[in-house]
Structure 1
Amino acid sequence: MGETPALFTGRRWFFPSALLHELDPDAARAGRRPRRTARDWVVDFSSFLLAVVVGATAVEALADNPHVPNELAVVDQLIGALACAAVWLRRRWPLGLAVAMTPVTFVSETAGGAGLIALFTLAVHRPFRSVAWVGGINAALVPLYYWLRPEPDVPYLLIVLFAVLLTVAIVGWGMFVRAKRQLMVSLRDRARRAETEARLRAEQAQRLAREAIAREMHDVLAHRLTLLSVHAGALEFRPDAPPAETARAAGVIRESAHDALQDLREIIGVLRAGESDDTGRPQPTLAAVDALVAESREAGMKVVLNHRVEDPAAVPSSVGRTAYRIAQEGLTNARKHAPGTEVTVTVTGAPGTGLTVCVHNPPPEGEVPPVPGSGQGLIGLTERANLAGGRLEHGPTPQGGFEVRAWLPWR
């Protein structure tokens, strides 16, 4: 449902019902008539009282005019009284009342105040086209009216000019009020759109942050949990292993679980703090690829590292971190989908030419059971590489193996 702004909610009595109706989209779509506010009642009563006062002034003028018969004056007053009562209908039928008042004010002098109020209401509530037609007809009838009913104490041209200027002023005032209301409605709509856009931007930023954290959790925890799975599987299938080997596997499981918890704590800390690099341990860079390969070798993998970057510390931290995540994901995938094979990790590049990371493994021996959630890490890595301004390609090789190759800019 549409919500009225707080400015109007606390002071609804102070604003016109038509303005509140335009600010309530639900009421406008449903076609419900706006309820009169306290301000509307005050304005309507004041308009009725003004029409009566103008009519009473005209009654005195009729009594002093010798050219008007007494019977005609009585009829004029009766028509004027009905016109003043019709002022209460100006909000419901502004155009119809203004059109009806045009001939009424032409034949009744006491209905002049009600006619001007009807013309003002039309200018406030209807477009300029309707106002121009009705106001133009009223202004065109002024010379004829005063030619048929001349004022004995005022020159003809002066009274005609005054009446036309009064009609134009009433129309101008009503159009000014209408423009002011439309401005308030447009400002409210603009504020509503700004609030909607801000909410959408906040939701998009929240979604992007969640996606980034999910990617980071996958990249970090998948590697640790794969090590846990490998050594836990070895203990399961080798219950008769020597105590030293069992103790070594248990130590790796303990260290991997500790590192996984530490990484998870860092990621959750980033989520809470809303920062990326100021919490937890230092983020991995290209120099940490050697430690990553050594950790994989300790887990029982066969890994060959071809590190051809002369100064890994010179690589920008964002590029080095992305290269590390690519190598980490490649080793994790090889461990899951091609266990027992020899994996080759190649890192080459130089400033100006870019950094290339390639992880290749031959086809596994025998059938490998499918792993749930396969491919999600590569999707995240592709997006990560694109955000860094590089590209990532992955897929099977002609020899039946699998290769992940990425190029990252190094300026």
Structure 2
Amino acid sequence: MDRKRGARDWIVDSAAFAFAVLFGLTLSGMRIDANALPEPAWLFDVDQVLGAIGCGAVWLRRRWPVQLAVGLVLASTISELVAGAMLIALFTVAVHRRPRVSMTVFGLAVLAGVVYVIVRPDPDTPREVSLLMGTSLMAAAVGWGLFVHHRRRLVESLRDRATRAENEAQMRAEQAQRDTRDAIAREIHDVLGHRLSLLSVHAGALEFRPDAPAEDVVRAAGVIRENAHLALQDLREVIGVLRAPVGELPQPAIADVERLVAESVRAGTPVELAFAVEGEPPDLAGRTAYRVVQEALTNARKHAPGEAVTVEVSGAPGRGLTAVVRNRFAGAVAAEGGQGLIGLAERVALAGGEVAYGPGDGEWLVRASLPWPP
């Protein structure tokens, strides 16, 4: 309330002051024209002074609304020319204070009206009529103020709600961006990790066996060239999706497991595949099973190069989809806390399945179970 008065405030306060002055002058003129001055005569002079003070006090209504209203209500017990200023003060309290405070001040104003009709009765108007007219004017001022008060509260509530909704929408957008970045990171890891692991294995073989037979060198070089080309293609696809306004990352299906195993075999990893899937599983389950096999083959080449790998993929509607990958240690055990396995566990969990991995009986086992409704 106690703030710098703006242009709109000056206009409103000027209008309120003008209303109070005109209201007082109108009542004063009616008294003079009707030659109905109060007795004793000096009371009319006091009334005019109080009316002038009340009109001037209207300019203080923003700083002390309740105090001003109470003061004008008390003055109204003997002065009728402060009525205009009192109505403005009642309206101000109703607008800027809680309804309980407004009704308390209104009740005090009604009591002041009762005192006024007793102290200064109008010989031409019954007391009941005078009290009813005054109470009606005060009730109209307070009612209008309460309407403005509740309307302002409603606007503030809607504004706060809109602000919260905007903030929540921004948070959801940021979360969606984070989820998209995580999904892209997983795809890049899964897609390029498989290709680069093949490159690493055969490049390492050429480095440590420079005296290898020519046919082995040619085969390794062919694998390196082929997978480097495929890695570039995969990278172009991912970047193309990122640049496109709308699109999805290219996703594999369960049928691509056979192609994945064939690539590993051509790269020199002995892989035995047992594929027994009855029907077409849900896209999410099939894609996740493919990623499980892909990650397991990548880790097998990295931590147990040259060792045989067994891949078992089976499932049917109602029984679920299962992917199991086994390989020998070859003297080294894969780290259980690798980011690839952690991401794999997150991927399987998002698909509603379960995954287990770890050493056992001289081999490394990865087993994923995914839901496949009937």
TM-score (norm 2): 0.92
**Contact 2:76–2:113 under 8 Å retained in 1:** no
- Secondary structure at the residue paired with 2:76? helix
**Contact 2:326–2:364 under 8 Å retained in 1:** yes
**Contact 1:303–1:345 under 8 Å retained in 2:** yes
Query: Aligned pair 1:42/2:14, yes or no?
Result: no
* 1:239 CA displacement: 2.4
Which amino acid in the other structure matches residue 319 of structure 2? T
**Contact 1:62–1:68 under 8 Å retained in 2:** no
The match for 2:272 among 304, 308, 331 is 304
Query: Aligned pair 1:68/2:68, yes or no?
Result: no
Partners of 1:179 and 1:104 in 2: CA distance: 29
The match for 1:404 among 316, 341, 366 is 366
Which amino acid in the other structure matches residue 388 of structure 1? A
- Secondary structure at the residue paired with 1:308? strand
* 1:374 CA displacement: 5.6
Aligned residue number for residue 24 of structure 1: none
The match for 2:63 among 92, 105, 118 is 92
Partners of 1:98 and 1:316 in 2: CA distance: 74
Partners of 1:97 and 1:118 in 2: CA distance: 7
* 1:61 CA displacement: 4.4
Which amino acid in the other structure matches residue 50 of structure 1? F
* 1:388 CA displacement: 2.3
* 1:86 CA displacement: 0.8
Percent identity among equivalent residues?
A: 55
- Secondary structure at the residue paired with 1:349? strand
- Secondary structure at the residue paired with 1:55? helix
TM-score (norm 1): 0.84
Partners of 2:74 and 2:12 in 1: CA distance: 25
Partners of 1:364 and 1:243 in 2: CA distance: 26
The match for 2:85 among 114, 121, 136 is 114
Q: Is the deviation greater in 63-72 or in 291-300?
A: 63-72
* 1:242 CA displacement: 3.3
Structural mapping, 1:254-403, within 5 Å: 254-273=225-244, 274-276=246-248, 283-309=251-277, 311=278, 314-365=280-331, 367=332, 375-397=338-360, 399-403=361-365
Q: Is the deviation greater in 104-113 or in 161-170?
A: 104-113
Partners of 1:145 and 1:361 in 2: CA distance: 103
Partners of 2:196 and 2:130 in 1: CA distance: 97
> Given the superposition, is the C-alpha separation of residues 319 and 85 from structure 1 closer, same or farther in structure 2, using an over 3 Å criterion?
same
Structural mapping, 1:99-248, within 5 Å: 99-248=70-219
- Secondary structure at the residue paired with 2:185? helix
**CA RMSD after TM alignment:** 2.1
Give the ranges of 4+ consecutive aligned residues of structure 1 lying more than 6 Å apart after TM superposition: none
Aligned residue number for residue 10 of structure 1: none
* 1:290 CA displacement: 1.9
* 1:159 CA displacement: 1.1
Query: Aligned pair 1:56/2:19, yes or no?
Result: no
* 1:254 CA displacement: 1.5
